[in-house]
Amino acid sequence: MPSNEKITAIRNAVVALSVPDTEKSTRDALESGADPYEIIEDGLAAGLTEVGDKWFRKELFISHVLVAAKAVSAGQELVEKKLVGKKHQYKASIVLGTPKGDLHDIGKNLVALMLKAGGFEVFDLGVDVDPQTFIEKAKEVDADLIGMSLIMSVCLDQMEAVCHLAKENGLRAKTIIGGPATSDKVAGEIGADAYGGFDAVTGVKTAKELIGIS
């Protein structure tokens, strides 16, 4: 099967809400040498977006979206084993999480994976993270960056609180934001140091540029 068909098979497995088929097709694609980035963006994430659109059109229930999310996580774990299997000499560190109120973690997990593959030590605080927790962790590990992933636009104030607290506390960590509720404009409005762009790969590139590493 050509590489693009293998990626399509991953996407179809997520849309079919099959965890085993998602794992199998992801494994197949990895073994055939497909680009991990394409597996993530054009396979797993694209499948989930399609499921989300069906949910939005009321063709599926929320329980279906949860199964699709589980399938994506299973595929992501396989990619992670392949990409981050080797020991890393870390180039920089980042404290990552979703701000308080936002429970969506798939985008964050994908960014975490690509950051690890790019040489970052990632301190993943998970979802629904209180602003003060971001700050305490960044202080504790003397992080280079604080990264936040946001889908729920109603939680933008929580993201803004982190950006302000980071400055108030004189942290050396710079703030980088990403996820569908964010943009360059939002970054300017809430005082974040950078917007990471539409996808995880651009996010890693921006993160490196922000702290001057390659």
Residue 101 vs 191, nearer CB to ligand B12: 101
What minimum distance in Å lies between the beta carbon of 191 and ligand B12?
15
Residue 3 vs 152, nearer CB to ligand B12: 152
Q: Which positions lie near ligand B12, rule CB under 6 A?
A: 41, 45, 48-49, 52-53, 55-56, 62, 65-66, 69, 101-108, 110-111, 147, 149, 151-153, 176-181, 196, 199-200, 203
Alpha carbons 93 and 190: distance in angstroms, whole number: 23
What minimum distance in Å lies between the beta carbon of 115 and ligand B12?
8
Residue 1 vs 103, nearer CB to ligand B12: 103
What minimum distance in Å lies between the beta carbon of 29 and ligand B12?
17
What minimum distance in Å lies between the beta carbon of 210 and ligand B12?
10
Residue 9 vs 145, nearer CB to ligand B12: 145
What minimum distance in Å lies between the beta carbon of 209 and ligand B12?
11
Helix axes 62-83, 46-56, angle to 10 degrees: 170
Residue tagged 């996580």 (tokens): 73
Residue 9 vs 68, nearer CB to ligand B12: 68
Query: Based on the number of CB atoms within 10 Å of its own CB, is 87 exposed (0-12), middle (13-18) or buried (19 or more)?
Result: exposed
